[in-house]
Amino acid sequence: MKFLFVYKRGTIPQDKMKELGEEWMAWGKTINEKTGFRNARGKTVTNDSVNDYDGNFAGVSIIEAESLDEAIKLAQKNPGLKYDGMVKVLEEWKA
């Protein structure tokens, strides 16, 4: 089964950025990621406007897991959670 992980940044102390980056890379090797995207900047598009993106979403991964429960267990090990980060776990819809 495929799942989408959507990452939200927490508040990371500047002196922990390098350590968290290393932890994130190690964790990333454990989640069976098929595709990943980490955003640097972007735009927010609505019906009425286009504005600079000022949110705190850090990127997404498409992963494979046997079940939603397994995907959740993988997400719970994300190192950014300790800095109030968040992982949204979304299951692929199959028609």
CATH number of residue 76's parent domain: 3.30.70.1060
The tally of domains found in the chain comes to 1
- Pick the closest to residue 71 from 94, 92, 40, 43 (CA basis): 92
Other Cβ atoms less than 10 A from the Cβ of 87: the count is: 21
In this prediction the pTM is: 0.86
Report pLDDT for 36: 86
Residue range of the domain that includes 86: 2-91
Report pLDDT for 56: 83
Give the integer Cα–Cα distance in Å for 91 and 23: 25
Question: Which DSSP letter does residue 67 get?
Answer: S
pLDDT by position in tens, the chain (length 95)? 999 999 998 999 999 999 999 999 899 889 988 888 888 788 999 999 999 988 888 899 999 999 999 999 999 999 999 999 999 999 999 88
